[in-house]
Amino acid sequence: MRILGISGGHEPDHQGYPRPAFNAATSHDGAAVLLEDGEVVAAIEQERLNRLKHSNKAPFQAARFCLESRGLRVDDVDYICFYISEDWCNAAVKRGLFSTDPALRTAHDVMRRLVLAEFGVDVEPERIQFVKHHTAHAMSALIGSGYESSLVLTLDGSGDGESGSVSVGSRGELQSLRDIAERDSLGNFYVQVIRFLGFSLFDEYKVMGLAPYGDPSRYRALLQATYTLLPEGAWAIDSDKIADLHDVIRPRAPREPITQDHKDIAASLQEALETIVFHCLRHFQRETGQVSLCFAGGVAHNCTLNGKILRSGLFERVFVQPAAHDAGCALGSAMAVHMRKAPARRPPAMSHLYWGRHIGERAEVRGALDAWRDLISVEELADAPKAAAELIAAGSVIGWAQGRSEFGPRALGNRSIVADPRPAANKDIINAMVKKREEFRPFAPSVTEEDARDYFDLGGAEAMPFMICTVPVHEHRRQQLGAITHVDGTARVQTVSRRTNPRFWQLIRAFGDITGVPVVLNTSFNNNAEPIVDSVDDCVTCFLTTRLDKLVAGDYLVHKKPAPPSAYAELVPSFPAFVKLRSLRGLTPGGYEVERAIVTTYNDATYPVSAETFEVLWRADGRKRLRELLDDVTGREAVIAELIELWSQRVVRLLPATGH
């Protein structure tokens, strides 16, 4: 039995496509997952393919990848399932949220139209399945855990008009104990508060990293006034009280300095979240007697909270679904439908997440790299893990791309930036080279599974393969691991198994042989404007638009060539599907002016461009080299420099003539 699970929006990347639109606020983090007889055989987030972070577009590129990776068509799939309940979808259709087309009267009509538009197949209604949003979250965690019985908690912003659920899972089935109303959403609560700190949706993890720098007692009373702990593990959020923060602090603009006040509010917010979640967990653990916990939903990406649950002793075992956000609902909806149709065949527990696109066989990787030969040189390696370890030990910061990409938001050793974890200065070095992110955010370590307990306090966990919990770094190791030890002495650790990722394990072991420390700094392979890299072209793009020292892709070591602007003129400019060129003429106090810009279709972000660069981009057709487009343009080098900057912001693509 083959099941395709999808999550995400209904809009195409571009505009004007004959497909119903959907409210993007409910549709971020699109993904597709393919099950064969209950086993995940392919899974990928839409953002890895369309290169739009937290993609709110239709996840059909992801669905195509899943099918094509197995040589399948839509007709070969038994069920296509969506991560929202049929009742909620039907109500949304009636309200016109999906489409104003009167011919679309039900959720089945909408989904069949989408599949027909994308794949040219009219799917029978019974093959379209719907799964309640928080059921999808819960099933992704319960089935992924492998536990026979468990308390299951889901918490996020909202889905199907709810913000969480509490259930008991037993033998792959859920018994609902409580649905949590959207008005009491802990995900929305967190986002509302962090807006005072100059952050917004999808920045929650940044504030989690800021919190250890603050004193939670300073604003404890203020945060406590925003919620009420109720009997039986319930709570109520008073959103109006959050506005009282205006009385004590002026909201920070995004680029203003972060003060101690902001750090203290972050600490108080993190404490409030933990207080509410533990209030809920203690009650339901007592009521059910369950000794295991499964946790999913966007709030489950709060690694600090997860680590405290793990170390609390409240449960003997804790499984946090590593793709806990809405992309994981593609997995959970597929799992839920599998258990509906074949309850006797329970899927295996989750042991890894390497389900995405393969970097390519040796010849494929070499061919893709050779297309960039004007800008890079390539060296074949006899032992890529050992060579990478030697580079890192000598002080290099490298991109590392191997095998199939990871499903979910974490780089787990197949699309990673890797560096020496020992010098504390490496945090600032990597931020300057690649990430350009806030200095308070910590980097994570990866350690061989066999050596993990020598460096980290894993509590009762046997392994931590998914980088989803913060744990204490042993005190006598903290100075030795300066680049990955956070200010509070913790780290968001990944233990690496030789069985599930032999190449990354070999790299870490080789680094340990050289340095005596079998730990590496591991951060996602991307800059701050893009999702994690997926293809060879993505890797080279990130390599060339950052100050990374080296790239190891498959069995090849990649070096940058000193490249004059003319070398970039051999590349072919094009656009991601989610951007448009815009030219507007309007009256200003100084007279009529023309505004030229690149505009994104997902949040209307605007990137001004010069008249000369606008003209070049206007004539770009995805085939002509930049050199051809610059023939009659003045200031060629300035235009090339501007295009490279736009390329680094990922609103323009530059690819070799043979690689696009």
Q: What is the pLDDT of residue 557?
A: 99
Question: Per mean pLDDT, which range of 56-60, 383-387, 593-597 is the poorest?
Answer: 593-597
Q: Please check whether residues 544 and 581 belong to one and the same domain.
A: no
Query: What are the helix and strand counts (H, E) for the chain?
Result: 22, 27
pLDDT in tens, 500-546: 999 999 999 999 999 999 999 999 999 999 999 999 999 999 999 99
Contact at 8 Å (CB) between 567 and 374?
yes
Q: Please check whether residues 126 and 160 belong to one and the same domain.
A: no
Q: Please check whether residues 615 and 520 belong to one and the same domain.
A: no
Q: What is the pLDDT of residue 17?
A: 33
**Which of 445, 496, 449, 455 has the alpha carbon at shortest distance from 476?**
455
**Which of 353, 349, 499, 356 has the alpha carbon at shortest distance from 38?**
349
Distance CA 110, CA 334 (A): 19
Task: Give me the long-range contacts of 505-509 (CB less than 8 A, separation at least 24).
Answer: 505/448, 505/449, 506/385, 506/386, 507/385, 507/386, 507/388, 507/389, 507/400, 507/413, 507/418, 508/389, 508/446, 508/447, 508/448, 509/385, 509/448
Q: How confident is the model at residue 254 (pLDDT cuts 50, 70, 90)?
A: confident
Four-point Cα dihedral 492, 498, 504, 509, nearest 10? 90
The 8-class DSSP code of residue 581 comes to E
Distance CA 464, CA 491 (A): 12
In a domain, 401, yes or no: yes
Residue range 562-589: mean pLDDT, rounded = 87
Q: Please check whether residues 184 and 303 belong to one and the same domain.
A: yes
Higher pLDDT, 112 or 37: 37
Question: Active-site residue numbers?
Answer: 28
**Residue 313's CATH number:** 3.30.420.40
Q: What is the pLDDT of residue 514?
A: 99
Q: How confident is the model at residue 56 (pLDDT cuts 50, 70, 90)?
A: confident
What's the pTM? 0.95
Q: What is the pLDDT of residue 13?
A: 66
Q: What is the pLDDT of residue 22?
A: 43
Q: Please check whether residues 400 and 293 belong to one and the same domain.
A: no
Residue 18 has pLDDT above 50, yes or no: no
**Which of 376, 402, 398, 403 has the alpha carbon at shortest distance from 388?**
398
In a domain, 461, yes or no: yes
Q: Please check whether residues 438 and 544 belong to one and the same domain.
A: yes
**Residue 522's CATH number:** 3.90.870.20
Q: What is the pLDDT of residue 605?
A: 85
Residue 14 has pLDDT above 60, yes or no: no
In a domain, 181, yes or no: yes
Q: Please check whether residues 494 and 614 belong to one and the same domain.
A: no
Q: Please check whether residues 318 and 191 belong to one and the same domain.
A: yes
Question: Starting at the edge strand that comes first in sequence, how are the strands of the sheet with 2-7 ordered?
Answer: 39-45, 31-36, 2-7, 79-82, 128-130
Residue 417 has pLDDT above 90, yes or no: yes
In a domain, 490, yes or no: yes
Residue 189 has pLDDT above 80, yes or no: yes
Residue 48 has pLDDT above 90, yes or no: yes
Domain limit, last residue, from 560, 594, 621 = 560
Residue 164 has pLDDT above 50, yes or no: yes
Q: Please check whether residues 487 and 603 belong to one and the same domain.
A: no
Using DSSP, state whether 654 is helix, strand or coil.
strand
Helices (H), 583-635: 611-619, 626-629
Number of structural domains (the chain) is 4
Q: Please check whether residues 238 and 310 belong to one and the same domain.
A: yes
Q: How confident is the model at residue 20 (pLDDT cuts 50, 70, 90)?
A: very low
pLDDT in tens, 464-477: 999 999 999 999 99
Which structural domain, as residue segments, surrounds residue 555? 362-560
Bridge partner residues of 448 (DSSP): 496
Using DSSP, state whether 299 is helix, strand or coil.
helix
Higher pLDDT, 310 or 601: 310
Please provide the DSSP assignment of 359-380 as one string: ---HHHHHHHHHTTTTTEEEEE
Q: What is the pLDDT of residue 166?
A: 99
Q: How confident is the model at residue 25 (pLDDT cuts 50, 70, 90)?
A: very low
Contact at 8 Å (CB) between 469 and 409?
no
Dihedral sign, Cα of residue 261, residue 266, residue 269, residue 274: negative
In a domain, 504, yes or no: yes
Average pLDDT of the chain? 93
pLDDT in tens, 80-129: 999 999 998 888 888 877 777 778 888 888 888 889 888 999 999 999 99
Alpha carbon separation from 540 to 293, 522, 536, 602 (Å, rounded): 41, 18, 6, 26
Q: Please check whether residues 149 and 125 belong to one and the same domain.
A: no
Domain limit, last residue, from 68, 96, 130 = 130
Q: What is the pLDDT of residue 26?
A: 58
In a domain, 188, yes or no: yes
Q: Please check whether residues 497 and 607 belong to one and the same domain.
A: no
In a domain, 617, yes or no: yes
In a domain, 606, yes or no: yes
Distance CA 209, CA 305 (A): 12
The 8-class DSSP code of residue 221 comes to H
**Residues of the chain above pLDDT 90, percent:** 81
The 8-class DSSP code of residue 232 comes to G
The pair of structure tokens assigned to 537 is: 């072209």
Distance CA 49, CA 534 (A): 7
pLDDT in tens, 589-627: 767 777 899 988 777 789 999 999 999 999 999 999 999
Q: How confident is the model at residue 57 (pLDDT cuts 50, 70, 90)?
A: confident
Q: How confident is the model at residue 16 (pLDDT cuts 50, 70, 90)?
A: very low
Q: What is the helix (H) or strand (E) element at residue 338, kind and residue range? A: helix 327-341
Four-point Cα dihedral 445, 451, 454, 457, nearest 10? 60
**Which of 168, 156, 144 has the alpha carbon at shortest distance from 335?**
144
Q: How confident is the model at residue 9 (pLDDT cuts 50, 70, 90)?
A: confident
Alpha carbon separation from 132 to 45, 275, 305, 333, 610 (Å, rounded): 20, 27, 25, 8, 48
Highest mean pLDDT range out of 8-17, 20-29, 507-516, 582-591?
Answer: 507-516
